[in-house]
Every structure is written in structure tokens, then in C-alpha cells.
Structure 1
Amino acid sequence: MFVILEKAVLGMALLRLLSGCIEMFAAFVMLKFNDVEKALIVNSSLALIGPAVLLITTAIGLIGFADQLSLKKLVWVVVGVGFILYGVKS
């Protein structure tokens, strides 16, 4: 009858919901300004939020999953996230 959610999953989902709300708010701000330059500034500021949300949600997931991962697999996950961030920035 009751659904018990893991704290890590709940934290990750709430952070993604917050990120989505910020994205929607930014879209409304762009529409309100109705100016390409201001919309580009708003869009550029969102570029800072995306990687931060990725890192934080990954960290929450790894903390919640750390007891089940070996050190070798944990290192591979961290390296993979590093590659993703490097690919996005380049």
C-alpha cells in the first residue's frame, strides 16, 4: 500500500524537478523579454546549471550506491562523468 522511496532516489528526482522548473522559468523569462540578446544571456546562464545538476545528482547516486560498488567500478564512474564534462565543455 505504501511506497517507500530510497533517500538517494528521492533526492536525485527532486533535484531534477528543480532543474526542470528553473529551465521552464528561464523559457518564460526569454518570452517576457522578447529580445534575442537577453534570451542568449539567460540561455548562457543555464549552461552553468546543467553540469552542476549532473555532478550533484551523480554524487547523490554514488553516495547511495557506494556500498554496492567496488573501488574499481567507482573510479570508472568518476572517469566517465569526467569525460562527459570534458566533452560538453570542448
Structure 2
Amino acid sequence: MKLTELPRRAAALVEAVDDLMPNDAIARRLRELGFVNGERVEVMAAGPFSAEPLLVQIGYTRFALRRAEAARVRVVPEAA
């Protein structure tokens, strides 16, 4: 599932970040920020207009991501 499909406050683990083209700068930056395989991620909140941006927490850090950026992150729900 994509990060944009994850329900709010539900924990998941990052599976991968999809590259849309070779040497994709946005995908590379997401990985540099910590969106790497096995990291715990959670969607904390969404903005008021078209649910944009998404407030995402990875580790102890929170980021505001556009939905287009968050859609590149594949996650698997964390086992309860």
C-alpha cells in the first residue's frame, strides 16, 4: 500500500521508495530523510484542503509531505 492510503494514526513499516525516473532526486531525498526499508512510519494528520499536506512521523521526526511525494513511499501495516 502507499503511504497516502495509510489511515491516520496507524503504524506501518516502510517497504521502499519508488523512483519515477533514473537518479530521481525526490526519491533520493526521501531516503535521506529516513524513509528506508524497515523504518516505522505513521500519518499524524492531513491538511484541510484536499488532505494536503500530510504530516508524517518517522522515528521521532515529523515531516510535511505533499500527497504526490507520499504516494512514492510503499508501506506494509505493522503487525499488532
Q: Which TM class, normalised by the smaller chain length?
A: under 0.3
TM-score (norm 1): 0.22
Higher relative contact order (CA 8 A, sep 6+): 2
Q: Which structure features the higher share of strand residues? A: 2
Structure of larger gyration radius: 1
TM-score (norm 2): 0.24
Q: Which structure features the higher share of helix residues? A: 1
